[in-house]
Amino acid sequence: MSRFIFGDDLGNIKVLRYLPDAASPEENASIKTVHSEATSENRTAIQRISTCLIGRDNDTLLATASSNASLALHTLSEEDELKTVCNWTEKRLKDNYFVGLTASTSAVWSCTSNGALRRATFSTESSSITQEDKGSLPTRLRDWKLSSDAKNFAYGGEEVDLSVWDAELAFRAQPTAEASNASGKKRRRADTLFHGEVWRAKNLPNDSLSLRQPVRITSLSFLPNSGSGHSLVTGTLGNDVRRYDTRAARRPVADWKVGKVGGIKTLQAGLNEHELFVSDQGTNLYAVDLRNGQILYGYPGIAGAVTAIAVSPTTIASTSLDRYVRTHTIIPPAGIVGTRLDTKGAVSSKTYTNCIPTCIVWDGIHAKAAEAEEDEEDDVWDEIEEVSDGEDSDNSEAPRKKRRNLKS
C-alpha cells in the first residue's frame, strides 16, 4: 500500500492511497482531502510540494509552495492528519513562480523562476522560522533541484545552461575583492562562474548549418543511482533529454530525442537502475533506458499533459492536466542494454479529482502490509492440531511424524 501526497490548482492538499491487492479494480485507489483552501477570487495553486521523513512516529514533514508567494511546512501523520508547523513568504516572487522546493530534516529550500533562493531553517517546536538564508541566482530559471546529500544544487532554464552550485557558498555574499577585479577588466568573460558555482555546462556544438543550438532547459533531475550529485539529466523544449556527468566533461555525455510533442514537461529518475520517466507537453509518459536513450514503454490512455511524476519502489504516480491522478506499474529495464521487455508498464488506477492536480510526491514510507499478513497466516497454521491418519502412504508418514515432534 503506497501513499502519495499531491497538491492542486486551488490550494488543496490531498492524499492518494493505492492498494494493489484490493478486491476489485475500482477500489484500489482512494483520495482524501487533508487540507482545503478557502475559496477566494484568485487561485492560490500549489506549485511545488516536497516531503521528508522524520525518524520518530512515522510522521512525514510536508513543505508546500503556493502561487501567492507563501510557503508552509506541515506534519502529516500516518492517519492523514495534517498539522501546520510554520508559514513564511517569499517576497521576491512578484510575477514569477516557484521552480524548486526541497524539505530536509532541518531546513526547507525554495527557489523561484527569477532566481530567489531561500533556505529556511525550522524546528518542530517553534511555530516560526528560526533562520532564513537568502541567495540570488540568475533569472529565467525553469527547474531547480537539490542533490540527495544536500551539498549541491543545480538549475537550468531559458538560455540558462545547467549549473551546479555549492549549497553553502550560494548563501554567502559575493566578496568585494572579486567585484573590484571585475570592474578593473574591460570585458568580463561571460563564461566565468558565479561565486558559489562549481560547474556549468557547455552548449552543444553548432548544428549542420552552423547555427547555434538554443538552450531551453525545461526540467532537470539528479540521477541518484549513479554517484552522489555527479550525474544529471535535463529535458529541453526541443524534446531532447541530455545526460551530463560533472566529473567527465562540460558538454552532455548523451543527447537523445525522447519526447514527441511540445518539449519535455517533467523528468523523474526511477528507483530501479537506469530508469527514467519522461513526460512531454502532449499526452505522453514514457519510461526511458538511461544507457541508450531508448523508450522502453509508454503509458496509454492519458488525455492531458502529465504535470508531475512521483516515484516509489513499487509504483509510480502521476498527475495530469486532464484532472486525473494515476498510478502505474513499473517494469525495470533489462540487464542487457537493448533487449525488449516482455511486459509493458500499465496504468493500474486512475482517480478523478475536482481541480487540476499540479504536483505529487511519495511520502517515503515503505509498505509493510504484505509481510504482516504472511506472519498471521503462519500463526493460524501453527495453531491447528495435527490429526493422524493410518491410511496415508509411507511417504507422508515420515515428515508428518517429524512435524508432530516439533509441535510437542
Binding residues for another protein, rule: CB under 8 A, are 9-10, 12, 14, 26, 30-33, 36, 39, 41-43, 91-92, 114-116, 134, 136-140, 158-160, 190, 194, 211-212, 214-216, 218, 237-238, 261-263, 265, 281-283, 300-301, 303-305, 321-323, 351-355
Instruction: State residue 352 phi and psi, 5-degree precision.
Output: -90, 135
Nearest-approach distance from CB 323 to another protein, in angstroms: 6
Nearest-approach distance from CB 103 to another protein, in angstroms: 23
Q: Which is nearer to another protein, 224 or 282 (CB)?
A: 282
Q: Which is nearer to another protein, 146 or 325 (CB)?
A: 325
Measured between alpha carbons, how far is residue 209 from residues 153, 213, 251, 255, 280 in Å? 35, 10, 20, 18, 27
Q: Which is nearer to another protein, 40 or 121 (CB)?
A: 40
Nearest-approach distance from CB 114 to another protein, in angstroms: 5
Among all chains, which residue has been given the C-alpha cell 541566482? Answer: 137
Nearest-approach distance from CB 113 to another protein, in angstroms: 11
Q: Which residues of 53-88 are buried (b: 16+ CB within 10 A; e: fewer)?
A: eeeeeebbbbbbbbbebebbbbbbeeeeebeebbeb
Grid coordinates belonging to 130 = 528560526
**Widest distance between CA atoms in the chain:** 103
Measured CA to CA, the distance from residue 73 to residue 91 in angstroms comes to 17
Query: Which helix (H) or strand (E) element contains residue 374?
Result: helix 369-383
In this structure, the chain runs to a length of: 408
Nearest-approach distance from CB 52 to another protein, in angstroms: 26
CB contact at 8 A, 292 and 337? yes
Strands 13-18 and 29-35: antiparallel
CB contact at 8 A, 267 and 231? no
Q: Which is nearer to another protein, 42 or 388 (CB)?
A: 42
Measured between alpha carbons, how far is residue 147 from residues 103, 121, 151, 250, 360 in Å? 12, 18, 7, 18, 19
Nearest-approach distance from CB 166 to another protein, in angstroms: 17
Q: Which is nearer to another protein, 142 or 145 (CB)?
A: 142
Grid coordinates belonging to 68 = 501567492
Q: Which is nearer to another protein, 237 or 365 (CB)?
A: 237
Q: Which is nearer to another protein, 255 or 322 (CB)?
A: 322
Nearest-approach distance from CB 127 to another protein, in angstroms: 22
Q: Which is nearer to another protein, 43 or 230 (CB)?
A: 43
Half-sphere exposure of 106 (CA within 13 A, CB side): 3
Half-sphere exposure of 331 (CA within 13 A, CB side): 16
Nearest-approach distance from CB 351 to another protein, in angstroms: 5
Nearest-approach distance from CB 248 to another protein, in angstroms: 24
Q: Which is nearer to another protein, 196 or 252 (CB)?
A: 196
